[in-house]
Chains A and B, each alone.
Chain A
Amino acid sequence: MRYTEDHEWARLEGGVVTIGISAYAVEQLGDVVYVELPEIGKKVTAHGEMALVESAKAASDVFAPIAGEIVEVNAALAADPELVNKSPEADGWFVKLKPADPAALDALMDKAAYDAFVQGLG
């Protein structure tokens, strides 16, 4: 599992990267009430806007950790946005992406580095 400074996570499995937002991000957002997901087939750039998450407190953009093409979105989030709260780093995933360059993931933080980064945010 890899993490970004914008609090997305990304996990490579069988050539496809699953992406969501971290447990820390969800804790900051509070109850998620709406998730807007991209269309399948959309090409995204690294750090480009990919999705939108809205909580009772705020709306935030979700950025693509790496470049690629969206191959699947988590349709369950439309009816059940609280999945993001219940299971941010598993069932509450946002999209699956076919990466332009899977090696780009290596530049992101691993779990230990991300935890230290979050610690530093206070």
Chain B
Amino acid sequence: MNTETTTSGSRGLLQAEPLLFDAGSPARTGVDLPKPKGESRLGGLERKAPLNLPGLSEPETLRHYVRLSQKNYAIDLGLFPLGSCTMKHNPRLNERMARLEGFADLHPLQPTSTTQGALEVIRQVGHWLLTLTGMHTAALTPKAGAHGEFCGMLAIRAALAARGELDQRKRVLTPTSAHGTNPATAAAAGFHVEEVAGTSRGRVDLSDFRSKLGADVAGVMITNPNTCGLFEPDIKAIADLIHEAGGYFYCDGANFNAILGKTRPGDLGVDAMHINLHKTFSTPHGGGGPGAGPVVFSEALAPFAPAPFLAIDRDGALALQEETEAGTVGRLCAFHGQMGMFVRALAYMLSHGSDGLRQVAEDAVLNANYLLARLREHYHAPFGDGPCMHEALLDDSTLKARGIETIDVAKMLLDEGYHPMTTYFPLVVHGAMLIEPTETESRAEVDRFADTLIAIAERAKGNDTAAFKAAPQLTPVRRLDETRAARNPRLRWREAQRPE
């Protein structure tokens, strides 16, 4: 491996890139604006001191951003195995549809008589989501998974308030394997969070769950399949128990991709669930972004769903009902949600059809199990005695004897040209490596990734720990001191840092 340094700090055509503030200087400028003529109309409020911003020419500025963009790793560059994130391919057909003028040039304040097509897209996305989940009502406006969770928990709050039990029901139960956003959302919605233990098989401990139920429980938040990549077999019992106790069942739909067209959350007793369009329905994660996290509700929570609602007016045209009744969730955002993502998601739904969506789940689960089968002899799989759902969970327990940890494997993967898998999550497994290949990777691609991980595991068996600790070697920057960055974060650039 070539670790030679270069004079410029660049490595081949991967150029080193300084901060914009370091690259430019206030002494230079890229634009030459004329001094304003005539009398100032700013009433003496004009700035006296210079702004001290770095000056760069147009090509310097352009190159800065293009070089930064080249340092991105993206699903369009390679397999992106982040577990729990469902980094699947974003079909170009979706992009083509979203760029149709009638969608791309919409304004949310246009009269609805001119936006009937867009409203029909919203209606159809809602229809598909309800069909796939077996739920009663869809709220499309939440803009990401955590926003959707917040919407769902606010609806539970509103329902409890309507029952006059909000003061009494303050506890929300979440399993130890929960996404961090679940307890955070419950707390943000004003509830106290209580953890439910997991079993040695990576599932919710039903007896611990039962022991924590009571007349002060508002609800439970569970991800299914869970963050260990396993289906919760007691999900129906959990739903029945929480309902008997007078609480509601929030399901985190982050992993819906694994059960699409196979299981309907509504049949399992779910009261509210968000669906990440940017995971399951192939809209982009960030960059091409933004996320979208529609929420589907059971009949019990439907009256508390947020505005706007789609309605049919007297002329049979689609209209938006913007008003909500007191005591409901109200609005989650100013307009109608991520319209561009609805178009992409609908393009995905229509191009796959119901049979195609079912195959999405089947192939996602097949790919993850194929990967697990290839890797379980080389890494420890904490729940590897059975099949997984859409993601394979490994840990570093067999590497630790040589002083090698999950983070070292992740850094080695960077040198191999892969974005690492999710590391150290779920927290219930020490040194976790959570890998979600998704259905859009071919067998050849999954094999190539498995071969790489197997080669890393083989290398770990040799007397090569120092190489693991020195990785990554081929990235724009070497291993970063995460501890120091967290302890002494430098959040502002300061003039004193400007190189002479």
B-contacting residues of A (Cβ < 8 Å)?
28, 31, 33-34, 54, 56-58, 81-82
Most buried by A among B424, B430, B486: B486
Q: Please give, as numbers and ranges, the residues of chain A lying within 8 Å of B483 by CB-CB distance.
A: 31, 33, 56
CB contact between A56 and one of B427, B430, B482 (< 8 Å): that residue: B482
Q: Nearest Cβ distance between residue B193 and chain A, in whole angstroms?
A: 10
B175 to chain A minimum Cβ distance, whole angstroms, is 15
Residues in chain B within 8 A of chain A (CB atoms): 424, 427, 430, 482-483, 486-487
What residue of chain B has the Cβ atom nearest to residue A30's Cβ?
B483
Cα distance, A58 to B483, chains bound together (Å) = 12
Residues from chain B with a CB closer than 8 A to the CB of A57 are 424
**Separation of A101 and B283 alpha carbons in the complex (Å):** 58
- For residue A58, which residues in chain B have a CB less than 8 angstroms away from its CB? 424, 427
Sample of 18 A–B contacts (CB below 8 Å): A28-B430, A31-B482, A31-B483, A31-B486, A33-B483, A33-B486, A33-B487, A34-B486, A34-B487, A54-B486, A56-B482, A56-B483, A56-B486, A57-B424, A58-B424, A58-B427, A81-B487, A82-B487
Residues of A within 8 A of B424 (CB): 57-58
CA distance A69 to B258 in the complex (A): 48
When A and B form their complex, what is the total count of cross-chain residue pairs whose Cβ atoms lie within 8 Å? 18
Smallest distance from the beta carbon of A62 to chain B beta carbons, Å? 14
Bound-state Cα–Cα, A58 to B482, Å: 13
CA separation between A81 and B430, bound complex, in Å? 22
Q: Which 4 A-B pairs have the closest CB atoms?
A: A33-B486, A31-B483, A56-B482, A57-B424
> How far is A31 from B486 in the complex, measured between Cα atoms in Å?
10
Q: Which residues of A contact B482 (CB under 8 A)?
A: 31, 56
B280 to chain A, nearest CB (A): 27
A34 to B485, CA, bound (A): 12
Nearest residue in A to B486 (C-beta to C-beta)? A33
Closest chain-B Cβ to A63's Cβ sits at a distance in Å of: 11
A56 to B424 CA separation, bound complex (whole angstroms) = 10
Q: List residues of chain A with CB within 8 A of the CB of B430.
A: 28
Residues of B within 8 A of A56 (CB): 482-483, 486
Report the Cα distance A65→B487, complex, angstroms.
27
A61–B139 Cα distance when bound, in Å, is 34
- A81 to B234 alpha-carbon distance, docked (Å): 41
Query: Which residue of B is nearest A28, CB measured?
Result: B430
Q: How far apart sit A58 and B180, CA to CA, in the bound complex (Å)?
A: 10
Give A121's nearest chain B residue, CB to CB.
B430
With a cutoff of 8 Å between Cβ atoms, the chain B residues found around residue A82 in the complex are: 487
Q: How many Å lie between the Cα of A57 and that of B424 in the bound state? A: 7
Instruction: State the CA gap A28–B405 with chains docked (Å).
Output: 12
- Bound together, the chains give a CA A56 to CA B406 distance in angstroms of 13
Chain A residues whose CB sits within 8 angstroms of the CB of B486 once the complex forms? 31, 33-34, 54, 56
Quote the shortest CB–CB distance from B170 to chain A (angstroms).
14
Could you tell me the distance between the alpha carbons of A56 and B430 in the complex, rounded to whole angstroms?
14
Residue of B at shortest CB range from A59? B180
Name A31's closest neighbour in chain B (CB-CB).
Answer: B483
Chain B residues with CB under 8 Å of A34's CB are: 486-487
Question: How far apart are B256's CB and chain A's nearest CB, in angstroms?
Answer: 26
Q: Which residues of A contact B427 (CB under 8 A)?
A: 58
What 13 additional pairs, Cβ within 8 angstroms, besides A31-B482, A31-B483, A58-B424? A28-B430, A31-B486, A33-B483, A33-B486, A33-B487, A34-B487, A54-B486, A56-B483, A56-B486, A57-B424, A58-B427, A81-B487, A82-B487
A54 to B424, CA, bound (A): 14
A85 to B487, CA, bound (A): 13
A33 / chain B contacts, CB cutoff of 8 Å: 483, 486-487
Contacts of A28 in B (CB 8 A): 430
**Residue from B430, B482, B487 with most neighbouring chain A CB atoms (10 Å):** B487
Among residues of B, the one whose C-beta sits closest to the C-beta of A82 is B487
The CA-CA distance from A57 to B482 in the complex, in Å, is 10
- Distance of A5 from chain B, by nearest CB (Å): 12
Tell me how far the C-beta of A97 lies from the nearest C-beta in chain B, rounded to whole angstroms: 22
Measured CA separation A33–B424 after assembly (Å): 16
From A31, A34, A57, A82, name the one whose CB has the most chain B CB atoms within 10 angstroms.
A57
- How far does the Cβ of A98 sit from chain B's closest Cβ, in whole Å? 25
Tell me, in angstroms, the Cα distance from A54 to B430 when the chains sit together: 16
| Cα distance A34–B489 in the bound complex, in angstroms | 12
Shortest CB distance B447–A (Å): 31
For residue B483, which residue of chain A has the nearest CB? A31
Please give the distance in Å from B382's CB to the nearest CB on chain A. 11
Alpha-carbon separation in the docked complex, A81 to B484 (Å): 11
Distance between B182 CB and nearest chain A CB, rounded to angstroms? 14
Distance in angstroms from B456 CB to nearest chain A CB is 20
CB distance from B167 to the nearest CB of A (A): 20
Residue of A nearest to B397 (CB): A122
For the complex formed, measure the closest distance between the CB of A85 and the CB atoms of chain B, giving whole angstroms: 9
Q: How far is the CB of B348 from chain A (nearest CB, A)?
A: 35
**Closest chain B residue, CB of each to CB of A80:** B487
Tell me the minimal C-beta distance from A79 to chain B in angstroms: 10
Enumerate chain B residues within 8 angstroms of A54, measured Cβ to Cβ: 486
CA distance A66 to B427 in the complex (A): 26
Which of chain A's residues have a CB closer than 8 A to the CB of B487? 33-34, 81-82
Docked CA distance A82–B486 (Å): 11
Question: In the complex, how many angstroms separate the beta carbon of B194 from the nearest chain A beta carbon?
Answer: 11
Cα of A58 to Cα of B487 in the assembled complex, Å: 14
Q: Which residue of chain A has the shortest Cβ distance to B195 in the bound complex? A: A61
Shortest Cβ distance from residue B297 to the other chain A in the assembled complex, whole angstroms: 31
Shortest Cβ distance from A122 into chain B, in angstroms? 8
**Of all chain A residues, which has the CB nearest B405?**
A30
Residues of B within 8 A of A81 (CB): 487
Give the complex CA separation of A105 and B289 in angstroms. 54
Across the interface, name the chain B residue whose C-beta is closest to A122. Answer: B397
